[in-house]
Structure 1
Amino acid sequence: MPALLIALAAAYGAAAGLLLPRPAHRLSVDAGEAWRAHCPGGHPITGWLGRGRCPECRAPYGPAAPAAAAVTALACAALAAAAGHRPELAVWLLLAPPAVLLALVDRRVQRLPDVLTLPLAALAATALGAVGWLTGAPAPWLRALLGGLALAVGYLLLFLLNPAGLGLGDVKLALGLGVALGWYGWRTLLTGAAAGLLLGAVHAAYLLLVRRAGRRATMPLGPFMITGAFLALLLGAAAAP
């Protein structure tokens, strides 16, 4: 049964990942710009979910669909393997595709759109609240809400101390990630927060070492925040009773 659960989660992740290239392309714009409504050839794009290829000129756009599908499938499979049949697995699978989408957009344009970060936080809080209500155990949900607030405040302080190093989008992303991490406890929250910052620091050091970026260069922090939270969630789920 666990193998079947993992296979089903991977299939779901692959199907969801195939739908990410189009929204990733449309949302990958600078702050203040309208969402992209055309392919690179100038043809209008209809809808938000789907392949990143224009049906008229066949021009590809957005991230490669196979890569997006593979990453989302692996993430969902790993979450299923760690959480097993726990009811919160449904929440993790629900949050995985938008989290991957956020990482794709931030990697492309160094921006985390409010249209994704804020709904992600609301979805995490609402879905975990439903799990707490259905299981009759509201304590993890209350801790999750406090975790989201704590991580967002922590990133807000970092933003105020170094506004050139991260943006308000990172603060809003931290809100949703903190809610998810807080479900498994404060240790999981701290692990996820530390892992995200550490991964970002290691990547920045690598770019400096190979001289692909200067000391004042900026880089997207969102993908590392999401990866750190993902790894901590795996540990938290595996250690949960």
Structure 2
Amino acid sequence: MPREWDAHGYDTLPLPHERWSLRALSHLLLTGGETVLDAGCGTGRDTAALLGRLPGGRVIAVDGSTAMLDQLRVRLDGRTDRLEIVHADLTQPLQLPGPVDAVFSVAAFHWIPDHDALFGNLAAVLVPGGQLVFECGGYGNIASVIHAVDSLVDDVPDVWNFADVAETDARLRAAGFVNTEVGLVTDPAVFPDDDLLVRYLETVVLGAHLDRLRVDERAAFIRAVADRLPAPVVDYVRLTVRAVFAGQPGPPSKVVRSRPAEQQ
């Protein structure tokens, strides 16, 4: 079940997601009339950018968080004539008004534990020859944050799916994607002060861990994680992907997920 977010707080922060979006958008080949699925659209920053690239096209914005979609509606008020908003779990088959020419996603797929199901569901709504362009946390992502959490909590749940290049490529091909371009990009987010770092950790990074704590325990936990980081930096490693749907699924994936030691 997708988790809920502090969507308003999320939208008030300066996010590295904006540069990730620009980088991913540069790999999406559009003529302007396509229908594009924004998968894990959040508060709609990328949805707005997509609408700007599609003067004669449409965007279908999908997210599992009602709070995020409510914030998207506020952001895009008056711009919904070419926009379809869908509340859905990306690990389940998607019920869309029709097939899409491309799927685009920024900073969402590492929250989804089952990438085999995810890629299969995305392939099912793409036209043959349709593009898949996304970026998310990849192998080695936020290792310092994970180490800090591990030092504070016993039996830490595996709340993220930071896949590596080989397993992602294998899963994409098994779902019917070809011409796959998969890579890892080191891209740390540097914060000017500890206060902004704490707000960012609370709103963007640690939410799934905070959900397990009492409300009166959360501030101290966030502060303890921040104090254990070597610098006011979140050490991001981004998994970047571009692929084309061939029109039919391949054989079942048999990859084995790997993890760096600090994530096990």
TM-score of the superposition, structure 1-length normalised? 0.30
Could you say which structure has the higher strand fraction?
Answer: 2
The structure whose RCO (Cα within 8 Å, separation 6+) is larger is 2
Where is the helix percentage greater, Structure 1 or Structure 2? 1
